[in-house]
């Protein structure tokens, strides 16, 4: 982890010294193309250093000043040069005739950080993880993440241009300065943000508890991590989570729909499962030689029956009691069916699986 999360050069003085403000409250967020600093507060700690200090000397000063630990194998500072006056007991005045000079080592990882020692433009992180130059997989991902960010920040926007090569959005308030423009890369379908004004100058007159961008897809993107390790929240829990975390009200149906979309993101869709069933059968026969499988389709190429018995079950069945019990259970979901299972008993009356089969219904033909 970096020892100094942000170093903000406030202004040069007339005594060959500069005052810098060190932001220690935040974290680095790794993006596909660079690291972005996400500050958790607006307060910085001012310290005075020499105007001609080198990068290594600056690191040593800040390490000793704040008693910090850091990984020496990676860059540790983000330096943003700004021109602004702060009130101090020494009444230092901004002096543009003394530029800041600093020896910053350039390496592959340092290029991922936002490091600049010239210029006067300062870009604030608005907490949405959007910035100029960020690249998305396609326009659909761009719009989905933009809607999710607007829901999290309780902001509204509207699309002013949407084509296969360009996407532009602005705040619903005509007098607001917020603006985003993204263009498609020539070599692929990825979209890159080329212009981004992240400051909302509008008021709260247009805000309501029913957010227009809180669609089922957006809510699914937000609750998706809750389904990684198990069953996930119920429909009622999703409604409470969205209202508590995002501050917007959504219907019961939208909560259910978002849960289905989130499950499909993690586990895949039923259609995809049936499509790869023949591939699963092939891999099962390859890895477990001696296993028996059978896949039957109807005249239109649609799934009808699937049977499987693993090699270990077949070999050890000779040691079981020669009695088979067959039972079935109904499959719940978009597609009906019955799961049939055949089991036997060993000499200690333990249940031993022999085979399973998925059929349309429990009947003689199956």
A 10 A CB-CB count for 95 gives 13
pLDDT attached to residue 9: 45
Using one digit for the tens of pLDDT, what is the confidence trace for 253-274?
999 999 988 888 888 888 888 8
Q: Which of 149, 118, 155, 153 is nearest to 134 (CA)?
A: 149
Length, in residues, of the chain: 366
The whole-number pLDDT of residue 366 equals 57
pTM of this prediction exceeds 0.75: no
| Residue spans per domain, the chain | 6-112, 127-207, 208-268, 274-359
Question: For position 72, what pLDDT does the model report?
Answer: 59
pLDDT of residue 275: 86
Say how far apart CA 100 and CA 62 lie, in whole Å: 17
Per-residue model confidence (pLDDT) at position 342: 93
Residue 337's alpha-carbon distances to 139, 242, 248, in angstroms, are 38, 35, 39
Please tell me the predicted confidence (pLDDT) of residue 221. Answer: 87
Q: Cβ–Cβ contacts within 10 Å for residue 215, how many?
A: 19
Check: CB of residue 81 under 8 Å from CB of residue 100: yes
Task: Give 236: exposed, middle or buried? Use CB within 10 Å, 0-12, 13-18, 19+.
Answer: exposed
Residues in the chain where the model's pLDDT stays below 50: 1-14, 81-123
- Helix 252-267 crosses helix 235-245 at what angle (to 10 degrees)? 100
Chain centre to alpha carbon of residue 187: 24
C-alpha to C-alpha distance for 304 and 164, rounded to whole angstroms: 41
Instruction: Report pLDDT digits (tens) over 67-114.
Output: 776 655 555 555 554 444 444 333 333 333 443 333 333 343 333 333
pLDDT of residue 128: 77
């Amino acid at each position: 982890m970096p020892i100094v999360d942000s170093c903000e050069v406030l202004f040069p003085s007339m005594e060959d010294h500069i005052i810098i403000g060190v932001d220690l409250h935040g974290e680095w967020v790794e993006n596909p193309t660079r690291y972005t600093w996400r500050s958790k507060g607006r307060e910085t700690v001012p310290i005075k250093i020499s105007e001609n200090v080198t990068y290594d000397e600056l690191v040593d000063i800040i390490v000793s000043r704040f008693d910090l630990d850091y990984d020496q194998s990676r860059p540790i500072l983000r330096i943003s040069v700004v021109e602004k006056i702060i009130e101090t007991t020494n009444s230092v005045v901004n002096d543009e005739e003394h530029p800041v000079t600093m020896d910053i080592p350039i390496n592959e990882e340092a290029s991922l950080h936002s490091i600049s020692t010239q210029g006067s433009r300062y870009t604030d992180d608005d907490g949405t993880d959007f910035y100029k130059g960020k690249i998305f997989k396609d326009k659909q991902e761009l719009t989905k993440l933009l809607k999710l960010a607007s829901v999290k920040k309780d902001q509204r926007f509207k699309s002013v241009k949407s084509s296969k090569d360009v996407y532009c959005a602005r705040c619903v308030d005509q007098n607001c300065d917020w603006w985003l423009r993204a263009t498609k890369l020539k070599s692929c379908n990825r979209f890159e943000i080329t212009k981004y004004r992240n400051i909302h100058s509008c008021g709260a007159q247009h805000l309501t508890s029913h957010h227009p961008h809180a669609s089922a897809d957006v809510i699914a993107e937000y609750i998706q991590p809750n389904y990684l390790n198990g069953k996930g929240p119920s429909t009622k829990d999703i409604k409470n989570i969205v209202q508590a975390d995002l501050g917007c009200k959504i219907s019961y149906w939208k909560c259910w729909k978002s849960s289905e979309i989130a499950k499909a993101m993690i586990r895949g869709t039923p259609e995809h499962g049936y499509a790869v069933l023949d591939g699963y059968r092939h891999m099962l026969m390859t890895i477990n030689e001696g296993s028996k499988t059978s896949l039957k389709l109807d005249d239109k190429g649609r799934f009808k029956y699937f049977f499987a018995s693993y090699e270990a079950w077949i070999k050890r069945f000779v040691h079981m009691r020669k009695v088979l019990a067959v039972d079935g259970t109904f499959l719940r979901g978009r597609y009906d069916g019955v799961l049939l299972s055949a089991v036997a008993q060993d000499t200690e009356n333990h249940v031993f699986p022999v085979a399973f089969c998925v059929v349309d219904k429990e009947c003689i033909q199956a």
